[in-house]
Amino acid sequence: MRSLLYTAKMACTGKLSDGVLPILADSAIKIIALVPLVFLWRALAAQGADLGGLRLAQLLSYSCLAIMLERLLNVRTFASDWNYDGQLGDLFHQPLPVFWQIIARTAGTWLPELALFSLPMALLLPLLGVDMLPKTLWFFPSLLLTISLGFAVDCLFVCVSIRIQHASYIVHSLRFSLIALLSGALIPFNLLPFSLGKVLEWLPFGSMAAAPLSLFVGAGNTASLLAAQLLWNALLWPLAALCFAKSRERMVSYGG
Amino acid sequence: MFTTVQTVTPKAGTAIELRAVSKHFYQRQPAKSLADWLSPKRRQIPALDDVSFSVARGEFLAYAGPNGAGKSTTIKLLSGMLTPTTGEVTVLGLSPLKERIPLMRRVGVLFGNRRELWSDHPVSASFRWKREVWGVPKAVFDEMESLVLELLDIRPFYQTLARELSLGQRMRAELGMMLLHRPELILLDEPTLGLDVLAKRQIIAFLKELNERDQTTILVTSHDMDDLEEMARRILLLSNGKVAFDGDFSALRGALKLGKKALVRFRNQSLREIPYDDIGALLQELSALEGVAEIEFAQNSLEEGLADLFSSWKAPS
Amino acid sequence: MGDKLSLRRVFGLLALYARMDLDWLLRDAKLSLLDAANGLIACLSSLSGVFLLAWRFGGVGGLSPWQILFMLGFTATVAGLCMVFFGSNNVAHISRRIGRGQLDHMLLQPLPLWLQLIAEGFLPFSGCPRLLVGLGLVLWSLRGLELSPGWFWWLSLAGYLACAVLCLVGLSYLWSALAFRWPVAFEEISSVVIDEICGPLSQYPLSILPPALLWPLVSILPAGLLAWFPSCILLGRPPLGLPELYPLFFTLGLWALAIFTFRKGLLYYVHYGSNRYTQGGHRN
């Protein structure tokens, strides 16, 4: 455990090696991306439209939290990059379980952003009238299930990249397109037409972002959201472990 | 500083000429105060310091020196990637920076640690790309293609994607591609970096043949002195951006005053190395030893001599 | 060795890169299909959010769902054209090549830099899915809008598309010039400008924003000129009281500035060099 914590610490300090400027720049980009959404919700509210049972305040909280916790709601490890560079085999040189190393390093890289962007946002937004308190404490276990599911999904995508060695960028791009569309991080499912939200809610991607965000703003059925998250965790983790074990040979031999 | 010995006189027709060339870089210093952070201090690093030399057409020059001596900087200056801080560089009678395009039609440049091949395409596709971009006439391309395929043994992997090649195969393919436009001058920056013995031998033999057969001028940098000695007749040593030696290899050996040593193997299989200057004193010392099984006399290698030299350059005077 | 710089030479090089693209595509059927599917899904997913909202709420920001679809088609076409003409070898994302010290490879070619940049990014086959989706959406939206425009309108559409593409690339080159001086910090600046700021912003009907935020988006950070502004003009609703040729003037000014800063950066590069070199991205 100490080794993993130390690995996470190294990843965390590595993220800060170029100073805080890159993180601040990244934060600025996130805020720029948030601005049109905020005004979009305002415009829709001003039209007097039915926002799928959500109030404007809830929509604002939803979008702000989605931006603040972006990396946790859509876990992306360094494994696919390392695989592309033929470096993933290097993880086998360390006396630690490979997947735990990936988790420790990834979690380490989250910390600076959480401290320098998410936390200040959580403190500042209430001053601007945005509610940043969860409506139910079930939000926290839901967030943990999201992170856990995110690692399993990332692992599966990494295994696909390992399989399609020469086109891992395609897998990367495909994954982000699917998640942008299907996770509910950008547009809450309640706002989608044709009852699309009802379907997407039960897909694995829906369990990643939409579930904790909906619980945070007090929308959606707690039991069914958590049940879907538990179900997808129970299904995808064994699958991810199996695929990862099967990909080991290719992972190690590539790049050598 | 090491004595500069000029033993090689440039022949008629100069391929490369550097006149009093200096090149300075700047390194940012860590901030120790807010003022430093706002306006970072920079330290001037002289990569080349008042360097002058010339290389005759048809010559094969080894360009050596410790890490950071200025070897790669020189190649970048010669190929128009950098401009000198002061001084003048002329390559094949052209100014590399001002006349980059016509120069590049006549020069071949290869960096051992860089990739020019198209990674998602077979080697053959990269070769065709080179023909189009350089506008190589078909006859020249066909001739050079068959030459490099044969001599560098590229044919077995000519249709393989570049990213799937081993390091040795990749370097041979890179070298082959570099030669397709039949350059008059070849600049090689550590072309044998990381290669196994066989790949090295193939590349060295090929370069020697190219130099002897076509009188192609070659400037090559490497840290492997054995490789350099096998390829080149003349060696130019750089130290801290200055020319520390310019001459042939036998003159370098003489100038280095390579030490001698006796290697003594004892019957209990232990070994002892005895450096000596005076053979009489050595014999006296050897006669006093007991249990000697075998004695071998040797001279320090060029590499050992240069290691001593480089370390003396690093040591504070 | 043909040294003349003629139109024929330019087309010859474009043909070379087109053939290389086709070779890559034909080498592996599975990969080609995956790549095409990726292009389609990436394009549709990036546009679907705003369109679904517009559909559900009967329009947004003063634009009807079909008008929003036209705007989204326009932005997808701009992205597609960028991909087709500047998509390969990080030509659009030039800060990556500068920041990774890969400009040296270009200086070794016996061609002017501008010619290399025009030719090396050409991806007419593998780069076209997004363009096809964009054009498809434009045509579909015109049916929905029951418009049957004349030749001048089509010419204007082509002109606005060209301006938007050049505006995006010019913006990338303007910011990328910073990578000459600070290669590590600005290696990804073009990706930030194109993919993270202007690309996503150009998908919104920006009339939802207050004027204080809208004006910077048609000047300092011209995401508004990539789809919203020209779409409004083409749909007969010119916004902000600006002239219809504003995108053209802006693009010309931007390019003048981009060329000036890029040349300055290049001079800095050949003067001070780059002690950084990372492989990948320049010969893929």
The complex's ipTM?
0.80
Q: In chain C, which residues have their Cβ closer than 8 Å to the Cβ of A21?
A: 185
Q: Residues in chain A, how many?
A: 256
Query: Which residue's entry shows tokens 């436009």?
Result: B181
Contact B264, B286 (CB under 8 A): yes
- Please say whether the dihedral angle defined by the alpha carbons of residues A71, A72, A75 and A76, taken in this order, is positive or negative: positive
Q: Which of B59, B184, B190, B229 is catalytic?
A: B190
Q: Which of A20, A38, A161, A187 to mutate to test the interface with C (most CBs of C within 10 A)?
A: A187
For C219-245, how does the pLDDT look when each residue is reduced to its tens digit (9 = 90+)?
888 999 999 999 999 998 888 888 889
Closest Cα in chain C, distance from residue A107 (Å): 23
Cβ pair C261, C174 in contact under 8 A:
yes
The pLDDT, as a whole number, for residue C258 is: 95
CB atoms near residue A198 (< 10 Å): 12
* pLDDT interval class at B43 (50, 70, 90): confident
- B109 lies within 8 A of chain C by CB: yes
Q: Among residues of chain C, what percentage have pLDDT more than 70? A: 96
List CB contacts (< 8 A) between A17 and chain B: none
Query: How many residue pairs bridge chain A and chain C with CB atoms within 8 Å of each other?
Result: 88
Listed in sequence order, the residues at least 6 apart from A55 whose beta carbon sits closer than 8 Å to its beta carbon are none
Report the pLDDT value the prediction gives residue C143, as an integer from 0 to 100.
Answer: 92
Instruction: Give me the percent of chain C exceeding a pLDDT of 90.
Output: 47
Read off φ and ψ for residue A218, nearest 5 degrees: 80, 30
- A75 contacts: CB under 8 Å, gap ≥ 6: A106, A147, A150, A151, A153, A154
Chain B contacts to A (CB-CB under 8 A): 120, 161, 163
- The residue among C93, C130, C209 with the most chain A CBs within 10 A of its CB, best to mutate, is C209
Intra-chain end-to-end CA distance of chain C, in Å:
26
Whether residues B81 and C277 touch (CB distance < 8 A) is answered with: no
Q: Who wins on pLDDT, B193 or C82? A: C82
Q: Is B98 on the interface with C (CB under 8 A)?
A: no
CA nearest B119 in A: which residue?
A166
Question: Across-strand partners of B24?
Answer: B46
Contact A191 C38 (CB under 8 A): no
For residue C45, give the nearest of A21, A177, A196 by CB distance. Answer: A177
Nearest CA in chain A to C35: A170
**Structure confidence by residue, pLDDT tens digits, C17-41:** 999 999 988 887 777 888 888 888 8
Q: Is B237 in contact with B64 (CB distance < 8 Å)?
A: yes
Q: Answer whether C258's CB lies under 8 Å from C166's CB.
A: no
Q: Which residues on neighbouring strands pair with residue B275, listed in sequence order?
A: B261
Alpha helices (runs of H) in B39-95, residue ranges in sequence order:
71-78
Neighbours of B35 (CB within 10 A): 10
Number of Cβ atoms within 10 Å of the Cβ of A24:
11
The SS3 assignment for B20 reads strand
The answer to whether B101 contacts chain C (CB < 8 Å) is: yes
Chain A CB contacts of C48 below 8 Å: 181
d(CA B230, CA B228): 5
Nearest to B83 among C108, C109, C270 (CB): C270
CB C42 within 8 A of CB A174: yes
* Cβ-contact B233, B248 below 8 angstroms: yes
Number of domains forming the structure of chain C: 1
Cα C121 to Cα C173: distance, rounded to the nearest angstrom: 14
Q: In the predicted model, is pLDDT for residue B277 greater than 80?
A: no
More confident residue, B266 or A49: B266
Q: Which is it for strands B86-91 and B217-221: parallel, antiparallel or unpaired?
A: unpaired
DSSP assignment string, B207-222: HHHHHHHH--EEEEE-
User: What's the pLDDT band for B289 if we cut at 50, 70, 90?
Assistant: confident
Average pLDDT, chain C: 89
Give B97's contacts in chain C (Cβ within 8 Å). Answer: 270
What does the pLDDT read at residue B300?
Answer: 73
Q: Which residues of A205-223 are buried (b: 16+ CB within 10 A; e: fewer)?
A: bbbbbbbbbbbbbbbbebe
Would you call A166 an interface residue with chain B, using a CB distance cutoff of 8 Å? yes
- Residue A48 sits at the chain C interface (C-beta within 8 Å): no
Alpha carbons B243 and B236: distance in angstroms, whole number: 7
Per-residue confidence of chain A (256 residues) as pLDDT tens digits? Answer: 777 788 888 878 777 766 777 788 888 888 888 888 888 888 888 888 788 888 888 999 999 999 999 889 988 888 877 776 666 766 776 677 778 888 888 989 899 889 989 999 999 988 888 888 898 999 999 999 999 999 999 999 888 888 776 677 788 888 888 887 788 888 888 888 888 888 888 888 888 899 999 999 988 889 999 999 999 999 999 999 999 888 876 665 554 3
Q: Total structural domains in chain A?
A: 1
Helix (H, G, I), strand (E, B) or coil at B276: strand
Rounded-to-5 percentages of helix, strand, coil across chain A: 75, 0, 25
Confidence of residue C120 (pLDDT cuts 50, 70, 90): very high
Phi, psi of B244 (to 5 degrees): -100, -25
pLDDT tier, C101 (very low <50, low <70, confident <90, very high otherwise): confident
Residue with tokens 């391929």: B15
CB-based contact A146:A208 (threshold 8 Å): yes
DSSP at A115: I
Burial zone of A174 (CB within 10 Å; 0-12 exposed, 13-18 middle, 19+ buried): buried
Residue B102 at interface with chain C, using a CB cutoff of 8 Å: yes
Instruction: Give the neighbours of chain C: at least 3 Cβ pairs within 8 Å.
Output: A, B
Give the residue among A56, A37, A45, A43 at the shortest CA–CA distance from C208: A43
Return the pLDDT at A251. Answer: 66
pLDDT at site B37 = 66
Nearest-by-CA chain B residue for A84: B163
Task: Convert the pLDDT of each residue in B172-224 to its tens digit.
Answer: 899 999 999 999 999 999 888 777 788 888 889 889 988 998 889 999 998 88
Please name the residue of chain B whose CA is at the shortest distance from the CA of residue C26: B121
| C23 neighbourhood in chain B, CB within 8 Å | 121, 125
DSSP secondary structure code for residue C148 in this structure: -
State yes or no: pLDDT of B11 exceeds 90: no
User: In whole angstroms, what is the distance from residue A172 CA to residue A76 CA?
Assistant: 10
Has residue C8 been placed in a domain?
no
Q: Which of A128-132, C63-67, C181-185 has the lowest mean pLDDT?
A: C181-185
Name the strand (E) or helix (H) holding C240: none
Q: Is B180 within 8 Å of B141 (Cβ atoms)?
A: yes
Contact assessment for residue B189 and residue B74, using Cβ atoms and an 8 Å cutoff: no
- CA-to-CA separations, A15 to A229, B100, C100, in angstroms, rounded: 30, 40, 19
- Predicted confidence at residue A86, as pLDDT, reads 65
Cβ neighbours, 10 Å, residue C283:
21
DSSP tag of B94: B
- What residues of chain A lie within 8 A of the CB of B161, using their CB? 166
Q: Mean pLDDT throughout C194-211?
A: 86
* pLDDT exceeds cutoff 80 at B228: yes
What pLDDT does residue B7 have? 42
Q: Which residue from A21, A43, A176 is facing C61, i.e. has the nearest CB?
A: A43
At residue C147, φ and ψ (nearest 5 deg) are: -105, 140
What are the residue ranges of helices labelled H in A16-92? Answer: 21-46, 56-68, 70-73, 79-84
Find out whether B103 and B94 touch, Cβ atoms under 8 Å: yes
Query: Is A178 in the C-facing interface, judged by CB distances under 8 Å?
Result: yes
Asked whether residue C1 is domain-assigned, the answer is: no
Range(s) of the domain holding residue A126:
2-253
Q: Are C250 and C229 in contact (CB under 8 A)?
A: no
C-beta neighbour count of B283 within 10 angstroms:
12
- Predicted local confidence at residue C147, as pLDDT: 85
Residue of A17, A56, A189, A192 to mutate, interface with C, max C Cβ within 10 Å: A192
Q: Which helix (H) or strand (E) holds B236?
A: strand B234-239
Query: Which whole number is the average pLDDT over C162-170?
Result: 95
**Among C201, C194, C196, which residue's Cα sits nearest to residue C173?**
C194
What SS3 state is found at A123?
helix
Q: Do the domain assignments include residue C284?
A: no
Residues of C in contact with A181 (CB under 8 A): 44-45, 48-49
pLDDT in tens, B105-143: 899 999 887 888 888 889 999 999 999 888 899 999 999
Which of the pair, C163 or C272, is modelled with greater confidence? C163
Q: Report pLDDT for C86.
A: 94
Residue B1 or C234, more confident: C234
B190 among known catalytic residues: yes
Q: What pairs with residue B189 in β-bridges? A: B111, B221
Q: Is the pLDDT of residue B313 over 50?
A: yes
Residue A122: exposure state from Cβ atoms within 10 A (0-12, 13-18, ≥19): middle
In angstroms, rounded to a whole number, what is the distance separating the alpha carbons of residues C17 and C21? Answer: 6
Q: pLDDT at position A165, please?
A: 67
Report d(CA A172, CA A83) in Å as an integer.
Answer: 12
- The answer to whether C246 touches C240, Cβ cutoff 8 Å, is no
Under the banding of pLDDT at 50, 70 and 90, the label for residue B316 is low
CA distance B310 to B314: 6
Q: For strands B86-91 and B107-111, give the pairing.
A: unpaired
pLDDT of B5 strictly over 60:
no
